[in-house]
Every structure is written in structure tokens, then in C-alpha cells.
Amino acid sequence: MPLSFIKESSKPTPPPWKIAIIDDEEDIHTITKMALKRFNLDNRGLTFVHAYSAKEGKELLRNEAEVAIVFLDVVMETDDAGLEFARWMRQDLENHFTRIVLRTGQPGQAPEEKVIMEYDINDYKEKTELDRKKLFTTVFSALRAYRDIMAVDEARKYQQLYREGLERVIDSTSNVLEKRTLQHFFSGILQQVMSLLHIDEQSLLVQVKGISAVYSENDYKILASINCSECTQANEINDETLKYLNMARDQKKSIFVDDILVGYFPSNSDKVSLLFLKGIDQIHDIDSALLEVFSGNVSLAFDNLLLNREIIETQEELIYRLGDAVESRSKEAGNHIKRMSEVSYMLAIKMGLSIEEAELLKQAAPMHDIGKIATPDSVLLKPGRLDDQEMTIMKEHPNIGYSILEGSDRPILKSAAIIAQQHHEKFDGSGYPNGLSGEDIHIYARIVAVADVFDALTHKRCYKEAWPVDKVIDFLKEESGKHLDPIVVQKMLSNIDSAIEINQLYR
């Protein structure tokens, strides 16, 4: 998933080299500027800033950034004002990069050898010897030294930033790899990319759904979004955002226009994903390099996640088909296991279980009645109430289900074994097969029990008609703390509309 960001606007012209003249003689300022007015190095001319005393010079250096050279007079307010200024600049201001060219009209006041050694002066000139030619030579030499020093420092900073950035990439990749669902994976990508680039404005991760002659909002599916209120409410993308997404699609590459970055990610499955980020002033080389490392790692993680998702979806389909086999044999209401699984997932989330636990519960719940596969038709399909002997046979199905599923190391089957064995236990201890009570019953089984009762009551069975919702609510309240976990019941009652919506979705 390589990244190549192209800035559409032209690169800005590099600024001129900045020269500070600190001298109490006005003529020295004028002559220096005139002598160097045609100077150019690396296609950069010169700009001058001025001070007429050491005191003014200190104020100037505090406020002016990236001063390449200081032309410094020795004798100003005092005989050694320039030397004191040089000491202050190197020690107090901690500026060791700017080149200092000391100029004096009274050489006896500051012996050259002593000054250069003790005050970290880079060059020493008498004012009388600084004609135009020597000024050019002096400035050229000093600027080249300043340029090279800054390049070395920039490289050092780059290495440090890259090292720190790689640590962020490793942390970010680890965070993304922890996401087990595609939705959380995509949200994790978005959050980590924003963290790497230090931005907090609107961002989107979208997938191109199809190819059309005229691009439109319907071409895109929003996978994840941050700071986009309309995106969280519906799959809506405004016209301004669409313009940049379509631009990247047209060019089939990542683009960087204005303050917008759109990353273009084709995949082996012919699908294209687009990363939209707003509020970026510029993409430094280090940011591009870090994003390339990050996206490469994420690409591998995404491929692995898709393979894992394929395995999980295959497992889910086999589980549902197995559940359907039991369901069709017992002539339960159509889509019973699908509704019950979705309601169990909803309740798990409301109970505060993690997304991973809720997903596991949803995947395992369809096998809750797997033990009924061994129940005789005469008992399973009897339209009326079961007698004592028939009820004894029926009560065997939890342990039969457990015996079918136990012994696996797979989380889904381990969870399914627990649910199969415990979903007929009752909160007050009067259930079967083991008479468990309260929190001795696994939370998965307590949730499935409520979801199973709700679905059984709201749908027609061979032995009864469907109950109206009001009657179901009254029954859940009556069984709270007896048959059913009161906390799970309360979550069901608080979210009854969501459960009814699931019923409508899977009629």
C-alpha cells in the first residue's frame, strides 16, 4: 500500500538569507547593503536586519529567526560591547549556528587571536579591508558554513524524529492489530493516521463501491469517520469532500491539494479505499516515510484480518446452518436463531461487555439448542404440555449439547458449550440441568436466556400463539430475579424497541 503524496500547488520560493548588521555607524550599514545587493547563493539573495547598539542587537536576535550571519562591531556603547554581545549570543541565547563576523575600526581593542579563541567568533575583519570583493568572499564562506551546519542539524533532527516516529508507528500498528472487527480496524487506522500527522480536523476512510461514468456520493461507502457529524448519522459526504475524492480517483494516486490530503489505496480485490484528511499545512518527507511504513504494516494486517474474517464468516455460516437444522426439525419460528443471536449481541453491549465478547456471544448463541438433535420427535414436536417422563427426556438436551461441543480449544465452541449447558438454568436456582443460581450461571447463558424467552414469547410456536409485546413485558418483569437475571431483564426492558426492530428485520 505505497504512499506517494503530490502537492498540486507549486513549491514556495526559498526565503533570502538573513544578515544582521550590528554597528553604531550608519554608513557601515549602508555600504554593506550596497556592496552585497547582487549577492546570491543557492538561488537565494540577501535580506538585512539592523541594530545600532549591543542592546538593540540582543532585542533583534531574540525576535528574528534564522539569522545566518551577524556583522558585529566591537566598539559601540562600550569598548567591548561587541565581545560581550558575542558571549551573550553563544552562552545565554545558546545560538551556536549563526556565523559571527567581527568587524572593528580599532584592531588594538580586540586582538584577533584571543577574540576568535575565547568568544567563538567565526571571522575577524578590520573595517578598512572590507571592500566589495572581500565582503563577497567573507559572506560566501560564512553562508556556506551556516548552510552546511543547518543541514547537519536538520539531518540529526530528522533522524531523531524518524526514530520517535517509528516508535509511534509501532505503537499505532499494534493498536490497529488489536482490532478484531473490520469496523474497529478501520476506525483504528483513521485514529492512528491522525495521531501520526498531529491533526484533529475532519477525516474519512471510504471505499469505492462501484464505477460509474459520473461520480456521485453513492459511489462511496464510509468505513470510518472522525469529526464529521453528517457522516456518523448517515452515509453522507458533502460536495466539497467529494471533489477531492473524485480528483484522487481520476488521477489514480494520492493527492495533496490546499490543506487536503487524499490517500489512494488500491487492493488486490480491485477495490479502492480513499483516506481523506483535512487541515494539513504540509507533508514533510518524514511524515510521508512514516505513513509509508505504517500503511505497509496496516496493509499486511488488513490482508490477515480479511483472511481471519473469511474463516470466522465460514464458521458462522456453518453454525447457523447447523442451528437451522435443529430449528427446522423442531419447527421453531423462522429466523429464531438469527433474532436470538442479534438480541443477545445487543444486550451484551448494553451490559458493558466488550465488542469482542459480544461478537463471540453472537457467534456461539445459535448452538444453544444443539442438544435437541437427539430429542425424539414425539417429545420435540408434541403440540401440548409434556408429561413428567417427556419433560425428563427434554431436559437432557442441555447436557447432550454440552457433550457435543465440549473439549474444543476454539473460543466459539467453548462459549457455545457453556451456553448449551446453562441456558435453561434459572437465576433463583430452580432451573436445569445442574440447578445453578445467580452469577454461578455464566453471563453468556443469562443473556441468551432472556433473548430466548423474548423470542419464544413474541413468535408463534407449535404449542402456542405469539404474545403481544405488553404481555411479554409483564412476563419478563414477573420472572425477573426468579427465572431470569434481573439486570439483564432491565437492559431488555430499557431497550425493548431495539429488540422489536430486530424482530422486524428478521421476520
Cα dist. 243→239, 255, 314 in Å? 6, 12, 39
The CATH number for 257's domain is 3.30.450.40
C-alpha span between 389 and 395 (Å, rounded): 10
Residue 158 φ/ψ, nearest 5 degrees: -60, -45
Considering the domain architecture, whether residues 108 and 193 belong to the same structural domain is answered as no
pLDDT (tens digit, 9 = 90+) per residue, 423-473?
999 999 999 999 999 999 999 999 999 999 999 899 876 666 889 999 999
Q: What share of the chain in percent tops pLDDT 70?
A: 70
pLDDT (tens digit, 9 = 90+) per residue, 319-358?
666 666 666 555 454 578 889 899 999 999 999 999 889 9
Considering the domain architecture, whether residues 343 and 301 belong to the same structural domain is answered as no
Q: What share of the chain in percent tops pLDDT 90?
A: 35
pLDDT of residue 283: 62
pLDDT of residue 9: 41
Considering the domain architecture, whether residues 120 and 208 belong to the same structural domain is answered as no
pLDDT of residue 108: 57
Per the domain annotation, does 405 fall within a domain? Answer: yes
C-alpha span between 78 and 84 (Å, rounded): 10
pLDDT of residue 10: 43
- For 64-118, the DSSP string reads ---EEEEEEES-SSSTTHHHHHHHIIIIIS---SSEEEEEES-GGGS-HHHHHHH
C-alpha span between 343 and 499 (Å, rounded): 6
pLDDT (tens digit, 9 = 90+) per residue, 266-314?
765 566 778 888 877 666 666 666 566 555 555 555 566 566 666 666 6
Considering the domain architecture, whether residues 353 and 494 belong to the same structural domain is answered as yes
β-strands 203-208, 220-226: how paired?
Answer: antiparallel
Q: Which of 206, 205, 291, 208 is nearest to 5 (CA)?
A: 291
Residue 9 φ/ψ, nearest 5 degrees: -80, 155
The 8-class DSSP code of residue 210 comes to: -
Q: Over the chain, what is the mean pLDDT?
A: 79
**Torsion, CA 143, CA 146, CA 147, CA 151, rounded to 10:** 180
Residue at a domain's end among 111, 130, 149 = 130
C-alpha span between 130 and 128 (Å, rounded): 6
Entry pTM: 0.49
C-alpha span between 11 and 30 (Å, rounded): 33
- What is the number of structural domains in the chain? 3
Considering the domain architecture, whether residues 351 and 500 belong to the same structural domain is answered as yes
Residue 287 φ/ψ, nearest 5 degrees: -65, -45
Number of H helices, E strands in the chain: 19, 11
The 8-class DSSP code of residue 198 comes to: T
Per the domain annotation, does 58 fall within a domain? Answer: yes
Per the domain annotation, does 2 fall within a domain? Answer: no
pLDDT of residue 478: 95
Considering the domain architecture, whether residues 17 and 108 belong to the same structural domain is answered as yes
Considering the domain architecture, whether residues 476 and 375 belong to the same structural domain is answered as yes
Considering the domain architecture, whether residues 397 and 363 belong to the same structural domain is answered as yes
pLDDT (tens digit, 9 = 90+) per residue, 198-223?
667 777 878 786 555 566 667 787 87
C-alpha span between 68 and 87 (Å, rounded): 17
Per the domain annotation, does 112 fall within a domain? Answer: yes
Considering the domain architecture, whether residues 285 and 373 belong to the same structural domain is answered as no
- Annotated catalytic sites, by residue? 372
> In which domain, by residue range, is 263 found?
176-305
pLDDT of residue 116: 67
Q: Coil, helix or strand for 129?
A: helix
Per the domain annotation, does 150 fall within a domain? Answer: no
The CATH number for 97's domain is 3.40.50.2300
pLDDT of residue 179: 47
Q: Which helix (H) or strand (E) holds 173?
A: helix 132-177
State yes or no: pLDDT of 82 exceeds 80.
yes
Rounded to an integer, the average pLDDT of 4-17 is: 60
